[in-house]
Amino acid sequence: MAPLGGAPRLVLLFSGKRKSGKDFVTEALQSRLGADVCAVLRLSGPLKEQYAQEHGLDFQRLLDASTYKEPFRRDMIRWGEEKRQADPGFFCRKIVEGVSQPVWLVSDTRRVSDIQWFREAYGAVTQTVRVVATEQSRQQRGWVFTPGVDDAESECGLDNVGAFDWVIENHGDEQRLEEQLEHLIEFVRSRL
């Protein structure tokens, strides 16, 4: 039985390292397929909202790609892990509440428990998408290795998960990225 939210026709779980382009790819898909068809869901949204409330921080600034969140990132990760250990589906259930679009793009899947929760909840309509980028590409986008962040489960939890249903290479070759997005869009449309 599906938890809160409607029954999706397709759930795409996006994962990848920081600055690999997960948000860029999910937003590109949503803009091409339409917001009435695709919902972009962020597991970090309810985490950041709750963390901001408990720590007196600006929730909207924690959501954007600014440097505002960087001083809090390590503690947010620790805090989120404590919540997940108590209830592995806590953030997953929060993001699907009231979603009515037939296609869900979960832009920041980071743990095996996230994939397991969606597969158990939505079964065969769940697919995994790994967004990959070279370290050089990620550095050009502002990535700098941060101990306690880039070597934590939130960044490495899916490194050895095995095969993903889809792999999107986002190394900076716009034409190659476009071709991959077109294949994924065709697949999405075939499920509607």
When computed from its CA atoms, the radius of gyration of the chain, rounded to whole angstroms, is 16
Nearest-angstrom CA–CA distance, 29 and 60:
23
3-state helix, strand, coil in the chain (%, to 5): 50, 15, 35
Q: Is 20 annotated as a binding residue?
A: yes
Distance CA 43, CA 117 (A): 12
159 is in an annotated binding site: no
Residue 170 annotated as part of some ligand binding site: yes
Is 94 annotated in a binding site? The answer is: no
- What backbone phi and psi angles, to 5 degrees, belong to 31? -65, -30
Q: Give the C-alpha separation, 73 to 51, whole Å.
A: 11
Question: Rounded to whole angstroms, how far apart are CA atoms 59 and 46?
Answer: 10
Identity at 69, one-letter amino acid code: K
- 19 marked among binding-site residues: yes
| Two structure tokens written together for 187 | 């697949």
Binding site annotation covers 171? yes
Instruction: Determine if residue 23 is labeled as part of a ligand binding site.
Output: yes
CA distance 29 to 105: 9
Q: Is 22 annotated as a binding residue?
A: yes
Q: How far apart are CA 59 and CA 77, in angstroms?
A: 15
- Residues making up the annotated binding site for ATP are 17-23, 141, 171, 180
- Residues making up the annotated binding site for substrate are 170
- Residues making up the annotated binding site are 17-23, 141, 170-171, 180
